[in-house]
Amino acid sequence: MSAYVAIGESAPGDQVPESIDGVNPFGAQGEWLRCALHTHSTVSDGTLAPEHLVLAYEEQGFDVVAITDHWRLAQVPSTQRVLTIPAAELGWDIEHPHYPRQSAEFLVYGIDHIPDDPGGDRANWYTNPAENYEVRTFPDLTAGVSWAQTMGAVVYVAHPYWTQLPLDDLLTQQGFAGIEVFNGSCHEETGRGDSSVWWDALLASGRRAFGIGTDDQHYPLFELGTGWTMVRAAERSQEAVLDALRDGMAYFSHGPEIHHIEVVEGAVEVACSSARSVLLQSEEELGLAITVGRGGRRQGKILSTDSSGLITSVRFDLSFAPSRYRRVTVVDANGRRAWSNPL
Ligand SMILES: [Zn+2]
């Protein structure tokens, strides 16, 4: 946990892993759009009608809303400020079912219809009239992704920690852009909102997978705005947002902001809102931390702080062994996090 392997210090038999192609939205042209990418309306089990839901997000400063009702497509026009993206929360039969789970969910963005018969096991389909939702399934996630790709739609796996999605049921599937690493509703309700363990498993296996953060809102006063994704889109259009989601041009948060990340020769520099800790994370023991306060590690240089001594920019020298990926996590004084995609 504490030590890291210095460059040139790899153990006998170690193979230098091939790195995942990273992304850095902070240097890209375009604009930052605050996106709600997992939210429910009265079209399924949410409590606000689609038009009211979009207005609620508008009041909270969001730019993009993708309503993801269960197996139903909420059609709601964009407003002057908020761009809406047709989306849904669908599912697939998992290969290793476990109580109470026979299927798992994915989020799909940029669709024009919901399939009547997605081809999964009908024993796993059900309707819940009391809560106004239904569940159908694709036979596997790869089949769901193939269906989505016929429309140019983009797929992210929903809340794998909350679902307790068996890793084999994720690692064997193809074509999805990434996973919902943070889900505010799961975090508030059961403390199972942070799925970064699943993300690291994908990345450490060599899979190029991106993350999003969401609130999975059903009850606005309880959940709305408890997680979000900042997308760096070439322009404020559906096509540009879908391209950015497909390519990982985003970071996501339930508190802090990441202002800038720059990968310079042999180093990574991060500028952020006031933070107690900034982490450069990779597989296993590879990684660096800069933390202020009691017990804080300083495996890099603090470039600036705010008036209370919290970090606002840091520099990590890449002093650890070659790794498959590197990603940044910023932790604020309340323990809330913001995550970059792999750099
Ligand atoms: Zn949901």
Tell how far the Cα of 68 is from the centroid of ligand 1, in angstroms: 7
Tell how far the Cα of 38 is from the centroid of ligand 1, in angstroms: 6
Question: What CA–CA distances, in Å, run from 291 to 111, 127, 317, 329, 333?
Answer: 43, 48, 15, 12, 11
pLDDT attached to residue 320: 74
Give the residue-averaged pLDDT of 35-39: 98
pLDDT attached to residue 295: 77
Tens-digit pLDDT profile for residues 175-201: 999 999 999 999 999 999 999 999 999
Is 287 in contact with 280 (CB distance < 8 Å)?
A: yes
Question: What CA–CA distances, in Å, run from 58 to 30, 53, 83, 209?
Answer: 21, 9, 10, 29
Q: Residue 61 pLDDT > 90, yes or no?
A: yes
Tell how far the Cα of 280 is from the centroid of ligand 1, in angstroms: 30
Fold for 29-248, please state it. Answer: TIM Barrel (3.20.20)
Tell how far the Cα of 250 is from the centroid of ligand 1, in angstroms: 21
- Cis peptide leading into 115, omega within 30 of 0? no
d(CA 218, CA 224) in angstroms, rounded, equals 8
pTM of the model: 0.94
Tens-digit pLDDT profile for residues 208-237: 999 999 999 999 999 999 999 999 999 999
Q: Would you kindly state where each structural domain of the chain is located, as residue ranges? A: 29-248, 258-340
Tell how far the Cα of 281 is from the centroid of ligand 1, in angstroms: 28
Tell how far the Cα of 328 is from the centroid of ligand 1, in angstroms: 26
d(CA 91, CA 68) in angstroms, rounded, equals 12
Q: Which CATH class is domain 258-340?
A: mainly beta
